[in-house]
A and B are shown apart, each in its own frame.
Chain A
Amino acid sequence: MPVHSKLETFEDNWRTSMGGWSPEGKVVLRGRDVFQELKSNSWMEYLLFATTGKESPKIARLMEGMWVICTSFPDPRIWNNRVSALAGTARSTGALAAAASVAVTEATIYGLKPIKGATDFLYRADKRLNDGEALEQIVQSELKQFRSVYGYGRPLVSGDERVEPMMEFARSIDCGEGRFIKLAFAVAEYLSKSRLKYQINIAAVCAGLLADEGLTPMDFYHMATLAFTAGAMPCFIDALNQQEGCFFPLRTSRLNYTGGEQVKHWRV
């Protein structure tokens, strides 16, 4: 019987332009010799080039500011950080803690989904504005379809203390005046007067700033994936350095059981 799997062509045959290592000691990234051409890059510039193919010290600096100001709160109550603190108190390893916290950061109410979603929203809204729709109509249809707008509203508190410091930093490096960041604040202005009273959160601000630098939702998502580790690692270290098992212990009465009280017996 003839073999006709589509996979046959790919056996021992991975072709790429992204880069790689050769046993002769050469490392290439997106066509560039790492040891010759990229060795002086900052790590953030290298990550930006690796992730997006863009070479821009300005975007790298903007991104670095975002990581410091917006994504690295060392508070072990925040859910992704809490995973690292629990790893520390349960005496797991730092890499496992960081890996779990990064994975958990792909959340809906904070982290990577809003980051990607807010960028996507601003691009879609910008296109619809250019097509002649009113801002009010665009936001209302987003709310009607999805019952939320990524980048607006926040759990626990309504305002976002990161907006001002982030904008201040952005302006200090000549960002913050582009059409997407203006659109982000225009949406905030509209929503603040609406029944929902949603305020802008940092995801929409960062999305606007980076869209003005030409980053796509996928670019921002890929770049932001590791951004939260500087908040998670201190939470792990802190819990590791304290008595084992002492991070917010729970007594049995802290379970609020809402099922039936009847004790059942398993059939034998």
Chain B
Amino acid sequence: MNDKPIEKITTKIWRETPEIDNPFAAADCYCCGYDVYGDLLKNASYIDYLYLLFRQVPPTPEQSALLEGLAIALTNPGPRDHSVRAAMSAGVGGSTHASALIAALTVGAGNLGGAREVFHALAYWQQCQNRLADWQQLITDPPQLEREDVWPPMEHAPGFDPNGVSCPTPVRKTLEHLVAVGKTTSLTWLHQHRLELEGFAGCPLAFSGVAAAALYDLAFLPEEAEMMFLLLRLPGAAIHSLEQEKLGWRKYPFFADGFKLNP
């Protein structure tokens, strides 16, 4: 008899009881104390369950409305977005559907408009909160990489679009809506001081900046915000990829004349 302790998965999120006839199948599943299939399934909205998973407590109605608004705003970045283009590139070639989402995650993970930008922007919120002078200091003198990382260094102020001209209407409308439904301090402050912050950054606020402020107000940590941003933007990538798969590569830009090899 082997009396070494059995290796287990430690979790404070999930508890299961076994089926009577099968120890490898769960009869009851509890998420943070809530019966998933006996209670949440009937009574919770999807967005509330999502919040519960990340924060381990149920959201207030305002928090729920804030996350719901953010989820709708982010769910389809549209077919010109880098991450959706990645998914469509899988689609037109007839690649596996999982590869389309892997492609969207990979491209949508980055420092430019992606989840890593949200990570950095949320860290900026943690550091500066509602202090305009601190934002100015951090944006004009950003932290330097102390040793090599696998991530490239940021090339612009996180949460802002270095290629933007003015803050786009969807970003402004999303910010206004989230301020109205969430009534939270950081989003409200961002709404009031957007122009000053854009002045420090030298470019307009982006969706990543709104997402970071919203998730900071929902008490997300940078890594939690990074994950949530990755998740929330996948539906658009999925459906645009499927659409292009049906249409095929002939109807999808190849940039035949746009590629110029230097002599």
Contacts and interface: CB of A to CB of B under 8 A. Distances in A.
A19 B262 CA distance: 9
A195 interface: no
Contacts of A103: 102, 106
A184 B149 CA distance: 20
B11 A263 contact: no
Interface stretch (A54-62, A67-75, A248-256): A248-256
A17 B12 contact: no
Contacts of B6: 254
A95 B255 contact: no
Interface string A228-261: 0000000000000000000001111111111110
B24 A250 contact: yes
A197 B24 CA distance: 42
Nearest to A116: B148
A117 interface: yes
A96 B24 contact: no
A23 B102 CA distance: 30
Contacts, number: 125
Contact of A256 (B9, B26, B30, B56): B9
Contacts of A124: 147
Contacts of A119: 148
Interface residues of B, number: 47
B9 A16 contact: no
B33 A120 contact: no
B39 A99 contact: no
Contacts of A262: 33
Chief secondary structure at chain A's binding surface: mixed
Interface stretch (B15-23, B113-121, B130-138): B15-23
A89 to B, nearest CB: 13
A121 B147 CA distance: 8
Interface string B124-155: 00000000000000000000001111100000
B15 A255 contact: yes
Contacts of B255: 12, 14
A106 B16 contact: no
Interface of B: 6-18, 23-26, 30, 32-35, 39-40, 43-44, 56, 58, 96, 98-99, 102, 106, 146-150, 163, 165, 255, 257-262
Interface of A: 4-7, 11-17, 19-20, 22, 28, 92-93, 95-96, 99-100, 103, 106, 112-113, 116-117, 119-121, 124, 145-146, 150, 217, 221, 249-260, 262-268
